[in-house]
Amino acid sequence: MNSIEIITKKKNKQKLSKEEIAYMVNGYLSEKIPDYQMSAFLMAIVCNGMDKQETIDLTDIMIASGEIIDLSKVQGKVVDKHSTGGIGDKTTLVLAPLVASTGVKVAKMSGRGLGVTGGTIDKLESISGFQVETTKEQFIEQVNQIGVAIMSQTGNITPADKKIYALRDVTGTTESIPLIASSIMSKKIASGADAIVIDVKVGNGALMKTIEDARSLAHTMIEIGAHYQKIVKCVLTNMNVPLGYAVGNGIEMIESIEMLKGNGPEDLKELVLTLGSLMVSIAKDCTKEEAYQELKRNLNNGKGYEKLKELIVYQKGDIDQIEVDHFVSIKTPKEGFITCIDAYKIGEIAKKLGAGRMTKEDTIDYGVGVSLSVKVGDFVLENEELMRIYYDGGDISIQEVLDCFTFSQDVGELEPLIMEIIE
């Protein structure tokens, strides 16, 4: 058995055995297989896919590459949440403390940015002093003490996925249902939650471009969850437009804080309450409507915000010290209704400014990004503000920004945010 034979086999659309997949994954983890061969293997999977058994085998191998967190010492049912990634998706920053404010335990292991989509860990690191790495003992202790913890994917938990994830980000191999499903589910299973709610993004700013692919990914993850006796529910949500207004690590953190103070955008609020009602209803064995109303109360009465402050303090952060650069205002050249804000192009601009990574070794600039001043459906007058660009020397043209927006004299039909719930 050797890597070239295995790459060729998958290139020729043949099924791989678990031993062959393990040879590639473990060989890459131990540095016996170089980046260029693993990249070729990943690209063969992107082009030719994997069947259900291959995907479960890949998930198994990545779980077995590291430790599994035993959350049996956490009192109560633990519910986790994951997003497949989108432009302006700061949902976890709001959702985790809000759900914890109802008494539900939230043990959250999050990732960094992938492609043009941001990562929860990168956003939390925009807070001065915030510690994203911890031991599993400290992780469990924190969940028991304050009800919520958000940690980065450590070197001890699915280290094979962590290394492959970074390679996929810079080799054009992010858009593959088996790779996405096994990456997400290996982390979720290894992190020990009893149930998992997954936000599957759909649209030009997401990894899944079509509703059909999103459904396929959702069903794949539900099948993997069933293999491990885990409850998995998926919510398919629109990512043709950015979520909220802010796109960039520091400014998304600030928008999340404002959301928990009751001042956030309506689309982010709708998504948080939809995902949260599933999480709370599972954990408390109540109806989704009862869970929804409790979350809505805690969003309005400040309990969610107080829990966020508790989380940040526990993880050594200073909520009053969030890195944000200076901004310039971009004005509209004409009047009309905003009928489209291209999520992918917005994400590309934020990445070029320094909010994302071009290579595995790149460092994030936490202070850069863009903040929209309008949403789809808004009417704007000539010379009205469209967007603010937070930057530190990024090379972005005005026309590049204006190309993100489509104007019309008719408002058109607005797309729903919540497209489908698969339980």
Task: Tell me whether residue 297 is one of the annotated catalytic residues.
Answer: no
Is 219 annotated as catalytic?
A: no
Residue 325 appears among annotated catalytic residues: no
- Tell me the C-alpha to C-alpha distance, in Å, between residue 337 and each of 64, 340, 395, 399: 52, 9, 28, 19
Among 182, 183, 281, 371, the one annotated catalytic: 183
Separation of alpha carbons 340 and 408, rounded Å = 9
Q: Cα(135)–Cα(158) distance, rounded to whole angstroms?
A: 14
How far apart CA 128 and CA 120 sit, in angstroms, is 15
C-alpha–C-alpha distance, residues 42 and 178, integer Å: 10
User: What is the spatial distance between Cα 414 and Cα 423, in angstroms, rounded to a whole number?
Assistant: 26
Catalytic residue selected from 81, 82, 215, 307:
82
Per DSSP, 126 falls in state T
Cα 111 to chain center, whole Å? 7
Catalytic residue (choose from 161, 194, 199, 325): 161
Catalytic residue among 187, 230, 357, 388: 187
Contact between 114 and 169 (Cβ < 8 Å): yes
Give yes or no: 161 in active site: yes
Annotated catalytic residue 126: no
Q: Which residues contact 66 (CB under 8 A, 6 or more apart)?
A: 155, 156, 157, 158, 159, 160, 190
Calpha distance 418→289 (Å, rounded): 16
Question: Known catalytic residues?
Answer: 82, 161, 168, 183, 187
